[in-house]
Amino acid sequence: MPKIIVTEEQWVQQGIERFAQGGVEELVIEKMAVSLGCSKSSFYWYFSSRAIFIQQIIEKWRERTTQQIIADSNVHATADERIIVVLSRMFGTTGRGDFLFYLRKLSLKDDAYRSILNEVEQLRMEFMQQLLVQRGFQSEQAYQKSWMLYHYYLGWYERHKQETLSDEGVQRHVEVIYKEWIFS
């Protein structure tokens, strides 16, 4: 039988998916190895411990869900275009598990994860605040709108996280938020 070589990225991706489905309890190395079609010893080739693995999957999640969205939006010329991109990405991420819920749960037990969670959420709100300031809002008003928008998103996501929404449905929702709430 040929030897199956699994990359670090495949392990991390598997970890992100499993964490989103059940938190750290889903990060059973033996089960992940079976799913990836490799031996569990390949895990230790890349990660010296399960704790290091958890840190890496959370860092990769942060990169993909916050830093990458910010970078993607920055290629657009106007603040309006960037706001639409951010809103579309925010409200288009349903049906993929609940990574944020399990990170929040983990953060209650470990200050390091609480710090990461706080940094991610603060960065998200500050970025939207910057976009709203560029759009013409005063800083305090922009902060209030970004804070409310983020907390609305958390509730909305909780309600819709198990659904797969159509692109058209997401765009209609983004339009309503953009036209009727942000700029009302």
30-43: pLDDT as tens digits: 999 999 999 888 99
Which amino acid does the sequence have at 179? K
Domain spans, the chain: 8-182
Does the domain at 8-182 match CATH 1.10.357.10? Answer given as yes
Measure the N-to-C terminal CA separation of the chain; round to a whole number of Å.
64
| pTM of the predicted structure, to 2 decimals | 0.84
Question: So what's the pLDDT on residue 4?
Answer: 64
Residue whose structure tokens are 């909305």 = 156
Selection from 50, 30, 51 nearest residue 41 by Cα: 30
Spell out the alpha helix ranges (H) of 23-110.
Answer: 29-36, 41-46, 50-62, 68-73, 79-91, 99-107
* Mean local confidence (pLDDT), 138-155: 94
What average pLDDT is seen over the chain? 89
8 A C-beta contact, residue 47 and residue 53:
yes
Question: So what's the pLDDT on residue 1?
Answer: 46
8 A C-beta contact, residue 153 and residue 103:
no
